[in-house]
């Protein structure tokens, strides 16, 4: 086990002990830091920010960044930089004086030379390198292995390159212009060779067909009539064996019956008929009655094959035609694509000078000779954006300083504006199934939202509500979400995970629950009373409609008067309530000067349990389970204590110095509640003073 030396510094932030990275030496010695002290051991490579750097760190492309990936990058920096202190500034600027690798120094000098840098300037940044890469890519030979027609002044070679590009055998140069690389040239030559090989067999079929079009037409006819003609000759052989005139007559009658129905060409019944009426001689005559679906194709095929149809076609002649056309069809199936055939015909006709092929390959080799320079520029650019982002990655992996000190964790996807508040802790939800089991373990009040844009893009987020109250948070409520790139999304709440938000909210929760319960009971009683009243009115209407029984019905509809027993019961109940209230008042009055303590005790008795539960929940509040649901391997509890949580949710507040116009033209008329409260206070004070004997100096009022 690796141990941490005395040089490491740890700070407690948000209730979490984290290693402090304040020097380049701390980064260089990360391999010596016990992994149990790292804030995370793995994180997904797909995060809302610095995507390019995370993809570079994910060397094995498994979608995860792990400790070995971080340490490997540290070793690369140590091999290229004199000191890792320059990583702490988080900029994309790098000076040759900070580099220990001579190759990188040479590349920086080349960048400055390409851009025409000032004398003595040794620093480059991403903008400078991008400009140099653009200038280098515009050169005729830029190391990408692609040569454009403008790469040569030889007119024949230029014309050959233009011809290859025009035929579609091309790829884009680094400058964005179409050109030819080795793969495109090989495809061009392979297509040409395929056409030569195929077309070389064409003379063998010249005797069968005068041109390719007739051969293709004959092959199409054969494909259509192959089965019907073969079936016809089979029927002829069967008939020759039976030699039964009655069988021929029966088949002829059946065929006539079907044909008389004038069936459509795709009718199954019509498809069962033979090509023609078979005969014992086994010959097919074109002038005899023939199946309407195949007559044209048979005539066309035999004509193209040069058959003497007047004498009739025998089985032997048909077999000869089949052998010829199937051989032709097999050759035809090897025909290259139409564009390759067109290319081959044009090249063989002299449209392109194939003698320029070797010259093209020489140009490609000349371009590839610059590949090392192009790769060096690319590597310098990679070094710059990794230098810019590496400290951000460390502060979201080795520790979580970016989240706790800056509230800019790379897992934060934006800000949610909802219910007159701004929620800063928002994460993309890519694995909703895992959130179903992990959300409750976070002990946070969570709001899940579906996001959408007018262009059809959709995603989901989870936001933490860590301050204020949740009185107006409900499923279906709309809000606006702004992602880290500044794009806005329509948000709608789809799920709420209820947890305590603050001790203050927990104190008032029992009273809110009581008020809500009383309101619900009152609404239910009012609805019940209204239903009963409507039922009585309906019954009275029905009674009035029955003239014969009106008196009896009305008498039943009229409510009975309250009897003496009911009045007595109500009196007893009111007396009990009065006695209870009197007892409570006497208890409080008897406490004397300790009366406020008693009131506080009652309040704590009511709100205490919910406050204690809230305190226990708030102490357990952390974002680790949420990160775990998204594929992070969090190595410690990432607590969200009350002060830090309060900084993640911002309630609406008027800006400093704002003027308020307090006159509301539609305000309800105010009642003198202050006067009422003052009267109640004075009366209560007099009653208490009387019972305490403080009014003894007034004759007749002392006890």
Which are the contacts of 503, defined by CB distance < 8 A and separation ≥ 6?
Answer: 611, 614, 615, 618, 642
Angle CA 625–631–632, to nearest 5: 65
In this prediction, residue 235 carries a pLDDT of 80
C-alpha dist (Å) from residue 167 to 174, 184, 337, 353, 361 = 20, 11, 13, 14, 18
- Judge whether 233 lies within some domain: no
Structural domain includes residue 100: yes
Give residue-wise pLDDT tens across range 124-167: 999 999 999 999 999 989 999 999 998 888 888 888 888 888 88
Does the pLDDT of residue 549 top 60, yes or no?
A: no
What's the domain count of the chain? 1
| 3 assigned to some structural domain | yes
Q: Where are the beta strands (DSSP E) in 276-424?
A: 414-418, 421-423
Residue 13 lies in a domain: yes
Residue 379 lies in a domain: yes
Question: Bigger pLDDT: 463 or 575?
Answer: 463
Predicted confidence at residue 528, as pLDDT, reads 81
Between 225 and 6, the higher pLDDT residue: 225
Give the Cα separation of 317 and 314 in Å (integer): 5
Which residue range is the domain that position 383 belongs to? 1-139+372-409
For every residue of 49-107, DSSP letters joined together read S-HHHHHHH-TT-SSEEEHHHHHHHHHHHHHHBS-GGGGGG--S-EEGGGB--HHHHHH
Euclidean distance between CA atoms 160 and 183, whole angstroms: 16
Whether pLDDT at 557 is above 50: no
List of E strands, 285-361: none
Closest CA to 274 of 328, 306, 233: 233
Residue with tokens 């609406």: 652
Reading across the β-sheet that carries 64-66, which strands appear in turn?
64-66, 40-44, 633-634
* Average of per-residue pLDDT across 208-218: 74
Distance (Å, rounded) from C-alpha 199 to C-alpha 607? Answer: 95
Is 535 a member of any domain?
no
Question: Which secondary-structure segment (H or E) carries 460?
Answer: strand 458-465
204 located within any domain: no
DSSP 34: -
Token pair for 121: 């300037």
3-state DSSP assignment of residue 575: helix
**What tokens were used for 253?**
């009658």
CA distance 395 to 632: 15
- Read off the pLDDT of residues 463-499 as tens digits, 9 standing for 90 and up: 999 888 888 899 999 999 999 988 999 999 999 999 8
The full DSSP string for 268-289 is HHHHTS-SB---TT--B-TTS-
C-alpha angle 370-375-380 in degrees, rounded to nearest 5: 130
Q: Note the pLDDT of residue 576.
A: 61
630 confidence band (pLDDT: 50, 70, 90): very high
Task: With respect to residue 386, please indicate whether it lies within any of the assigned structural domains.
Answer: yes
């Amino acid at each position: 086990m690796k141990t941490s030396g005395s040089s490491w510094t740890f700070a407690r932030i948000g209730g979490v002990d984290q290693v402090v990275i304040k020097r380049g030496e701390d980064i260089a010695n990360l391999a010596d830091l016990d992994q149990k002290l790292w804030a995370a051991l793995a994180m997904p490579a797909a995060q809302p920010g610095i995507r390019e750097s995370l993809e570079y760190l994910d060397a094995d492309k498994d979608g995860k960044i792990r400790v070995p990936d971080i340490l490997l990058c540290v070793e690369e920096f140590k091999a290229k930089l004199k000191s890792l202190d320059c990583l702490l500034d988080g900029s994309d600027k790098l000076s040759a004086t900070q580099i220990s690798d001579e190759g990188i120094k040479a590349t920086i000098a080349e960048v400055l030379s390409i851009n025409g840098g000032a004398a003595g300037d040794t620093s480059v940044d991403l903008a400078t390198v991008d400009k140099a890469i653009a200038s280098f890519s515009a050169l005729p030979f830029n190391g990408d292995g692609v040569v454009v027609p403008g790469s040569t002044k030889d007119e024949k070679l230029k014309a050959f390159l233009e011809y290859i590009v025009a035929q579609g055998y091309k790829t884009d140069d680094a400058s964005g212009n179409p050109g030819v690389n080795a793969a495109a040239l090989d495809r061009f030559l392979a297509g040409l060779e395929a056409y030569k090989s195929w077309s070389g067999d064409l003379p063998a079929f010249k005797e069968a067909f005068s041109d390719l079009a007739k051969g293709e037409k004959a092959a199409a006819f054969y494909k259509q009539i192959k089965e019907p003609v073969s079936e016809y000759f089979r029927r002829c052989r069967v008939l020759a064996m039976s030699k039964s005139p009655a069988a021929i007559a029966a088949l002829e009658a059946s065929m006539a019956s079907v044909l008389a129905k004038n069936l459509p060409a795709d009718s199954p019944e019509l498809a069962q008929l033979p090509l023609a009426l078979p005969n014992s001689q086994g010959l097919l005559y074109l002038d005899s009655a023939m199946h309407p679906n195949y007559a044209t194709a048979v005539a066309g095929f035999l004509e193209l094959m040069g058959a003497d149809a007047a004498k009739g076609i025998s089985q032997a002649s048909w077999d000869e035609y089949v052998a010829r056309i199937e051989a032709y069809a097999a050759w035809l199936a090897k025909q290259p694509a139409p564009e390759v055939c067109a290319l081959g015909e044009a090249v063989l006709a002299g449209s392109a000078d194939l003698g320029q092929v070797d010259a093209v390959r020489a140009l490609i080799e000349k371009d590839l000779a610059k590949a090392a320079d192009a790769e060096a520029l690319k590597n310098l650019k990679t070094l710059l954006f990794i230098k810019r982002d590496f400290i951000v990655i460390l502060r979201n992996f080795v520790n979580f300083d970016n989240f706790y000190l800056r509230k800019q964790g790379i897992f934060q996807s934006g800000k949610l504006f909802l219910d007159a508040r701004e929620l800063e802790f928002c994460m993309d939800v890519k694995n909703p199934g895992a959130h179903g089991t992990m959300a409750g373990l976070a002990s946070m009040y969570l709001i899940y939202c579906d996001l959408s844009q007018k262009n059809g893009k959709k995603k989901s987020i989870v936001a933490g509500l860590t301050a204020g109250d949740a009185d107006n948070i409900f499923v279906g409520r709309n809000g606006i979400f702004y992602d880290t790139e500044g794009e806005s999304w329509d948000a709608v709440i789809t799920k709420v995970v209820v947890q305590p938000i603050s001790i203050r909210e927990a104190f008032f929760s029992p009273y809110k629950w009581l008020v809500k319960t009383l309101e619900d009971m009152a609404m239910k009683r009012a609805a019940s009373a209204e239903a009963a009243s409507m039922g009585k009115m309906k019954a009275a209407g029905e009674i009035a409609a029955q003239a014969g029984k009106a008196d009896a019905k009305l008498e039943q509809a009229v409510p009975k008067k309250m009897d003496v027993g009911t009045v007595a019961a109500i009196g007893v109940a009111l007396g009990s309530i009065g006695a209870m209230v009197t007892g409570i008042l006497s208890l409080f009055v008897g406490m004397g000067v300790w009366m406020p303590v008693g009131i506080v005790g009652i309040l704590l008795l009511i709100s205490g349990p919910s406050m204690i539960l809230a305190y226990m929940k708030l102490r357990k509040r952390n974002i680790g389970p949420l990160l775990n649901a998204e594929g992070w391997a969090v190595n410690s509890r990432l607590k969200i204590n009350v002060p830090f949580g309060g900084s993640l949710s911002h309630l609406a507040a008027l800006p400093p110095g704002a003027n308020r116009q307090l006159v509301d033209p539609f305000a309800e008329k105010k009642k003198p509640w202050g006067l009422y409260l003052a009267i109640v206070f004075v009366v209560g004070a007099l009653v208490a003073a009387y019972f305490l004997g403080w009014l003894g100096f007034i004759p007749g009022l002392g006890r």
